[in-house]
Each structure stands twice: as structure tokens, then as C-alpha cells.
Structure 1
Amino acid sequence: MENNKEGTKEEPLLYIHQPKFKQPERKMQDSFLSEEITDTIDLEKIFPKEVEKKQSFTLPPIDSEKEIEVVQDIPKEKQEEIKKPINAADYFRRNTPSRKTWNLNLVTPFRDMSIKEKLEYLSGFPSSQQPFPCEFITEKQQYKGTLSKYENNRIFIKNLQGDMDEIDVKELQTIKILYKT
């Protein structure tokens, strides 16, 4: 809006202002140090004793000559002093026992387990994980709830209403997991 008075102009009331922010500094690692591990290599283990240790290299051709391959004998003093630098990762790969076999155990389905195995499985849940709701069937009654304790051939079931039921393991006929459908 403009002011009708002469000589006074007002700035617009709404500004779209972009402040100049300072860019944050990055705090990341930019360099590292690693020691090279030198490991002496016994050349006699690598090469058989009958074969003489030789050093070979090729010379570049000069004008019209062909390539020349030069083979030299390495003196025994230098053979013992040869050290091959090994980085830390290779050193630890060589010196740590490797796991070449997988220990995979077949898991039996819940319906194929015996009652004792089912009770051990259901009582083995950590406290942070909620156990599966199950149906515990005896000759006289069916109990629906979660297994809260299993000790001394007695089980304690917390039913869906929150009450505790106590059952003897010998009375159990089957245990079924209740699935939500």
C-alpha cells in the first residue's frame, strides 16, 4: 500500500529475507596411520632346496637388438635378509583361525516337538520379548494364555484376562500356538 502523503514512502511490509548462515564445519577423520608389519619369509619353504635362487629381469632392447633376459644368482646373505612387507589385514588373516564350517542346526517345527520341548521353547523367551499366546489342552479343560513359568513339572499360565492358572505337566495333552487370522 502506498501512503498518499508526499515525500514519505514506506518499505513493503512483507520481506522475503534469506539470512546468511555460516556453514557448519565438518568434523570427520581425514587421515590415519598404520604400521606396516614386516614378516620374514623363509625362502627354503617356498622353493625346494635343489633349485638355486635366482633373480631375473629383462633389459629393454637397444636399437636393433632383441630383448635380453638376465638371470643372476642371489647371494645367500641377501636371501636371508629378504623381508616382504605385509599389511595389518593380511597379518591378522594369516594368524587368526578361520571359520570354514557353518554350524547350522535344523529347527524342528513347533507342531513336531514333544510337550517337554514345547515348554522349554516357550519358557526360553527373553523378558523383553512377549511370548506367544497358546492353547494348553488337558483332558478336562482348555486354557488360553501365555506361559509365565515352567518349574518342577508345573506350569503357570497367564490367561487372556490376566489371571494365573496352575497346571501339572502330566495332565497336558497338547499345546498349540494361537495365530491371529
Structure 2
Amino acid sequence: KKQPSWLGIKPVKSFQDMTIDEKLEHLSRQFIPFPCEFICTDQSYRGVLKEWDNKQLKVKSFKEETVMINREDLKQVKIIGPR
């Protein structure tokens, strides 16, 4: 028996339920960048994700600085809303 096509659709996860890599993928696909807090082992950064790969993230801070973050140091990503 053939299953209806809509059964193959994955439900959308809320941002807070996503893994860190899912959050980074989601943020990198957005047309309008979301201001976020990138929480690392030793400190946190506020800004917008510019690009990322499995080793590093490039974040533009609210102070107009470019910050490079090691992916392994990143512990959490939170959307903080418009500035």
C-alpha cells in the first residue's frame, strides 16, 4: 500500500530544539541575518553569522568587528532578536 506523500515530510523543529550544526545551517540560509549570541567555552559574542564550516565561524559583531570562533568552542547559539 502506497503511503500519502505528506507522510514523508519532516516536521519543522523549533530553533531551540535544533542541534548547534542545525542552527548554524538554518542561520546561514536566511535572507535576513538574525542577531544572535554565540556562547563559547570561555566567553560569548553577539553579532550576525557571516559564514561557517565544520572548523570555524565568522561572526560580525555589533561593534563592526569580525570575530573568528572555533567550532569546537561553541556551546550554544541563541537568537536575540532585532537591534
TM-score by length of 2: 0.83
Whole-Å separation in 1 of the counterparts to 2:46 and 2:69: 12
Output the aligned Cα RMSD: 1.6
Whole-Å separation in 2 of the counterparts to 1:105 and 1:176: 23
* Count of residue pairs the alignment pairs up: 78
Q: Does 1:107 align with 2:30?
A: no
Q: Which of the numbers 32, 36, 40 marks the counterpart of 1:134?
A: 36
TM-score by length of 1: 0.40
Whole-Å separation in 1 of the counterparts to 2:54 and 2:21: 12
Task: For residues 64-104 of structure 1, give each alpha carbon's deviation from its aligned partner in whole angstroms, at most 9, with x where no partner exists.
Answer: xxxxxxxxxxxxxxxxxxxxxxxxxxxxxxxxxxxx73364
**Alignment correspondent of 2:22:** 117
Deviation, 1:120, is 1.1
- Structure 1 gap segments, 5+ residues each: 1-99
Q: What letter is aligned with 1:123?
A: S
Q: Which structure would you say has the larger Rg? A: 1
Whole-Å separation in 1 of the counterparts to 2:64 and 2:34: 15
Deviation, 1:152, is 4.2
Q: Please show how residues 1-181 of structure 1 align to structure 2 within 5 Å.
A: 101-102=5-6, 104-125=9-30, 129-180=31-82
> RCO greater where, 1 or 2, for CA within 8 Å and sep 6 or more?
2
Whole-Å separation in 2 of the counterparts to 1:138 and 1:121: 19
Whole-Å separation in 1 of the counterparts to 2:81 and 2:25: 20
Q: 1:152 to 1:112 in 2, by over 3 A?
A: closer
Misfit runs of 4+, over 3 Å: 100-104
